[in-house]
Amino acid sequence: MAAQRRVSFAPSAITNLEEIRAWYVDQQVPEVGERLVREIVEAVLRLADFPESGRLVPEFDLPQLREIIHPPFRIIYRLDEERVRVVRVWRSERLMSMP
């Protein structure tokens, strides 16, 4: 069995999670935002054991850039030999583009 990989969140992903939580607070359903953020973090932590379980991001088709879907969000992560790094958490309908 392969070694477990470290999981980390880029500052951009942390900002995305904070924005998700804040949006649901603004909608007066903070418990929904808390639940979604918790579920997203739980899904990401499973990547430590199953890092290749996400699909390739269709916009790029790069083996090291993957995503898992947790409706209504896309969790975008970079994969290398030692770690999984979440780079974005976006609404599913959003497409990624190169900077």
99 part of a folded domain: no
1 part of a folded domain: no
Q: What is the pLDDT of residue 1?
A: 55
Task: Give residue for tokens 């199953």.
Answer: 50
Whole-angstrom distance, CA of residue 23 vs CA of residue 59: 26
One digit per residue, the tens of pLDDT, for the chain of length 99 reads 567 999 999 999 999 999 999 999 999 999 999 999 999 999 999 999 999 999 999 888 899 999 999 999 999 999 998 999 999 999 876 555 555
Phi/psi at 34 (5° precision): -60, -45
> What CATH number is associated with residue 29?
3.30.2310.20
Q: What is the pLDDT of residue 2?
A: 63
Q: What is the pLDDT of residue 3?
A: 74
Kindly calculate the radius of gyration of the chain based on its CA atoms and give it in whole angstroms: 14
